[in-house]
Structure 1
Amino acid sequence: MSGDAIRFRFSAEQAEFREMLRRYFGQVSPTSRVRQLMETDSGWDRADWDAMNAQFGLSGLHVPEAYGGQGFGCIELGIVAEEMGRALVCGPYFASSVLATGAILAGASDAQKRVLLPPMAAGTSIATLAWTEPGGSWDPTDIAMTATPAGGTYRLDGTKSFVPDGKTVDLIVVAARLPGTTGAQGLSLFTVPGDAAGLQRRALTVMDPTRRLARLDFRKVEATLLGDVGSALAPLSDTLALAAMALANEMVGGAERLREQALDYARMRMQFGRPLAAFQSMKHKQADMLLEVELARSAAWYAAEAAACGAPDRVAAASLAKAAASEAYLQTALHAIQIHGGIGFTWDNDTHLWFKRAKSSEVFLGDAAWHRERMLRAMGH
């Protein structure tokens, strides 16, 4: 990315937007509410989703105004992701407003965008993207699901796994390939209603109940082609880079919240007549946590700026940010549990809510090693 394209601070409007979101999420997503939603079948509440969209229109944040959205960009999307990660907001935002919306924006025709995006931007239609399969590969070229032409439509056969909110969404954007093709050849995107005949949806048992995943079995499911046949690799790559950037910012928000909680506890907890934070070893640990989180934040916001500018290194920047944030978030969660001492190792301590999210986010969309390899490939190495 060229030097004159880099911004080193948020605008006043963006800073105010962040403050409004932080106040709002702090009110609607306290840990007591997070724990309630974790016990429900869906993992989120439709009334909460509708209220959020009625007040902020977040589901259509980066959808162009021509398609019913607000027309903001990747910087604002990163702000939303960071504040949602900070508050552990339970809902289908990442599935619908990042993954599915990103895939439709990148791969659909203009006519399809005008039909699909307005209800998604309004929050009345919720979607997800299904590309990963039981083998666990995050690379789109490893997709095995087949899409067989059948008259004017296609028939999907195969299984998708680790699909975010796949059990509850209204629409599924599915990546599949024409029979007899491999790699990037024949790879295409399709849309399938959530209640389509021949589709079976089953919730997976997950470590982190704040982000629900599902297994989807397709048996001759009728699907509509999205965009052009055989042209899905580039849209999928762009979408996954956008998702990695958003997830990196989400993880930074969670890591920062954990760091602050650990520091507050160390200041409050007395040992040998002194606050725990006064001990030199604790000062070193707090300094290390701050450094790790700030380095991850720098990488995450560089990735957001690269995506906003359409920079040539946006894919590499997104993978770098995902790798850095994965490690910083999990390490910060481990430090926070240790700092809280005996109480920190109990489920009653809220630190574990963020620890579970940190652990699940570490591998979601690919772990740090996978993203560093992807970054090197994107840089031509």
Structure 2
Amino acid sequence: MTMQFSLTEEQQELAKTVRAVILRRLSSTSLRDAFASQAGYDEVLWKALCGQVGVTALSVPENMGGLGFTSFETHIVLEELGRTLTPSPLLSSGVLGVQALLYGADAQEQARLLPELAEGAREAALCWADEHGRWRTDGSSVIGRDQDGSWYLDGVSTLVLGSSESTTLLVVASTSDGAALFEADPASDGVTLESVRGVDPTMRFGTVRFDGAAARRLGGFGDRLADLHAAASTAITALQVGGAQAALDRTVAHLSERVQFGRPLASFQALKHRCADMLVAVETARSISWAAAWAAAESTPDMRRQSAIAASWCSEAFSAVAREMVQMHGGIAITWEHDAHLYFKRAHSTAQLLGAPHEHRRLLGAGVR
């Protein structure tokens, strides 16, 4: 199948619908109210996105309660969420959780868990990063122990997205026969959750400690754990592209409205050149991100390589655009009331999540395919 670098009418309508739902809700509930709430996101908006749009069901197969599209459609939704920095469980549950099950769970376990995830009735958090904050494609620092047919987990998982709100913990653990996926109850004995405050207030992380916690083995990854990492890294680039586009749009609007020396700032040639560089960064990032998303959706042989290219490029592009946004807004950009600092924080937090740019370039240098 050939990649088309444009959205279909159906995909364009999906983006418009998601944008309309978000903007309608933002008129009554601010971004700051959402991430400062107990859940960490706007629960009314989340229910609308799940119920009216079906954002969590897009990449779930129809025979498992989903809509039967692909992860590319979820990518489109994430890009729209990235525009407004909208906090939601889509990345943690609808992407990391769903993809972990699709890559690492047996068919019967997928059939048991995916319908509730697709409906939004269950929220999952993926415990994968080790105690050093690294997502290892050879396993995890959490160890699965088999004792007479019953499985137990020991170890620490850090940077767990949405851990405090999740009803199900999906755990990547190392076992004697390779990396495996487990299910654990966050309220069970031997499981300790600790909230971690990150630089980006729109994304909540946690540390999960397992001390002989009972767990259910869902399946093994085989050699596909690296594919899960590629799919997750690609999903992050959607948030980055959406954020970069919004940062560019807001900067252009500010320069058009702000007047100095009797002229709009947008009329100064030096600022025009800087905005042109921002536009180039956004458009190239979107093309590269879509290419990686298509590769992940189609499970092409080069999906890991495409993901590494996109994760490296989009991270640095968003950071550069966010930096220019702050510079060209002036002093107002570093006030709490303005959103510029939130885009700056989102850019730098996502640039480290699932691997910094230099780590992805190291994969490319090693000949990842």
What range is the shorter-chain TM-score in?
A: over 0.9
Aligned to 1:105: 102
Q: Are 1:196 and 2:168 counterparts?
A: no
Amino acid at match of 1:110: A
Q: Are 1:261 and 2:250 counterparts?
A: yes
SS for the counterpart of 2:183 is strand
Matches within 5 A, 1:221-232: 221-227=213-219, 231-232=220-221
Cα distance in structure 1, aligned partners of 2:31 and 2:304: 32
Q: Are 1:218 and 2:210 counterparts?
A: yes
Q: In the superposition, relative to structure 1, how do residues 212 and 286 fare at CA in structure 2: closer, same or farther (>3 Å)?
A: same
Contact 1:303 1:321 in 2 (8 A): yes
Cα distance in structure 2, aligned partners of 1:353 and 1:30: 19
Matches within 5 A, 1:5-154: 5-29=2-26, 33-141=30-138, 143-154=140-151
SS for the counterpart of 1:200 is strand
SS for the counterpart of 2:273 is helix
Aligned to 1:353: 342
Which of the residues 306, 313, 317 maps onto 1:317?
A: 306
Cα distance in structure 1, aligned partners of 2:283 and 2:109: 40
Amino acid at match of 1:296: A
Contact 1:326 1:362 in 2 (8 A): yes
Alignment coverage as a number of residue pairs: 369
Aligned to 1:298: 287
Could you tell me how far 1:174 is from its partner in structure 2? 0.5
Amino acid at match of 1:315: R
Contact 2:139 2:174 in 1 (8 A): no
Contact 2:141 2:157 in 1 (8 A): no
Contact 2:56 2:117 in 1 (8 A): yes
Q: In the superposition, relative to structure 1, how do residues 233 and 135 fare at CA in structure 2: closer, same or farther (>3 Å)?
A: farther
SS for the counterpart of 1:136 is coil
TM-score by length of 2: 0.96
Contact 1:166 1:172 in 2 (8 A): yes
Amino acid at match of 1:347: W
Cα distance in structure 2, aligned partners of 1:31 and 1:267: 27
Moved more, 347-356 or 54-63: 347-356
Which of the residues 209, 213, 219 maps onto 2:201?
A: 209
Could you tell me how far 1:30 is from its partner in structure 2? 5.9
Contact 1:315 1:378 in 2 (8 A): no
SS for the counterpart of 1:132 is coil
Cα distance in structure 1, aligned partners of 2:282 and 2:143: 42
Matches within 5 A, 1:240-279: 240-279=229-268
Aligned to 2:224: 235
Which of the residues 321, 328, 336 maps onto 2:325?
A: 336
What are the Cα deviations for residues 268-317 of structure 1, in whole angstroms up to 9, with x where unaligned? 10011111010010011000000111111111011111122221111110
Cα distance in structure 1, aligned partners of 2:301 and 2:337: 46
Cα distance in structure 2, aligned partners of 1:146 and 1:309: 32
Could you tell me how far 1:82 is from its partner in structure 2? 0.4
Q: Identity rate of aligned residues, in percent? A: 34
* Aligned CA-pair RMSD: 1.6
Could you tell me how far 1:201 is from its partner in structure 2? 0.4
Could you tell me how far 1:142 is from its partner in structure 2? 6.0
Aligned to 1:173: 170
Moved more, 126-135 or 46-55: 46-55
SS for the counterpart of 2:18 is helix
What are the Cα deviations for residues 335-364 of structure 1, in whole angstroms up to 9, with x where unaligned? 001111111122221111211111110101
TM-score by length of 1: 0.93
Contact 2:103 2:221 in 1 (8 A): no
Q: In the superposition, relative to structure 1, how do residues 357 and 192 fare at CA in structure 2: closer, same or farther (>3 Å)?
A: same
Cα distance in structure 2, aligned partners of 1:50 and 1:41: 16
Gaps of 5+ in 2: none
Contact 2:137 2:229 in 1 (8 A): no
SS for the counterpart of 1:98 is helix
Moved more, 98-107 or 144-153: 144-153
